[in-house]
Amino acid sequence: MLQGRTFAIGRGRGRETFLVTTPPIGELRVTVRPIRVFDDPVLRSVAAPVQDFDRELRRLVKSLTATMRAGSGRAGLAAPQIGEPVRVVVYSYDGKSGHLVNPRLELSQRRVTADEACLSAPGVWWPLERSYMVTARGRDMFGKPVTVRALGMLARVLQHEADHLDGVLFSDHLDAGDRERFLAEALPAV
């Protein structure tokens, strides 16, 4: 029988480190992974499309989900944020949760501004304009087609995580002055 595992995770540079015990889910061992911080070059790389819908992909989706749920206030996470350069995102907001492999987003014309944050720049929130509605199409971890229609904050989460797959950070959407102020606040935090 598979057993859970206990290990320490943290981000260094004076950041909190904590222990996480991960029970296995089915036959897959789930690992909570450290989240890459804002100045990590992997966050600027374009993620590769997933080709194989295999056990490794299922393990990655489970680890992404466990990592997202390991902290409070987390609504989404993209594979590059844990150092995996593939096109996979997980989300959980207001009772809707799931994952998308190789997502493609259709954005509405209606745009709204709201505060946004990133797990790779913890504690820094900034107002950002995004589409209010999104239709996201992709696959699940078994290769079956998935469509997610989202409004408001969940639409924002999906756009934010899809940006990570293209090496785009949400600060890239800010004007030059706001970007400079954001980076001044975010980089000391990382």
16 is catalytic: no
Here the tokens at position 104 are: 């493609």
> 163, 153 in Cβ contact below 8 A?
no
How long a stretch of residues is the chain? 190
Going edge to edge, which strands form the sheet with 145-151? 76-78, 88-93, 96-107, 133-139, 145-151
- For the beta carbon of residue 170, count every other beta carbon within 10 angstroms: 21
List the one residue out of 7, 88, 16 whose CA is nearest residue 54: 88
Nearest CA to 23 out of 46, 4, 51 is that of 4
Q: Which of 101, 23, 115 is nearest to 69 (CA)?
A: 23
Strand 111-118, strand 96-107: pairing:
unpaired
Of 84, 161, 180, 185, the active-site residue reads 161
Which are the catalytic amino acids?
A: 161
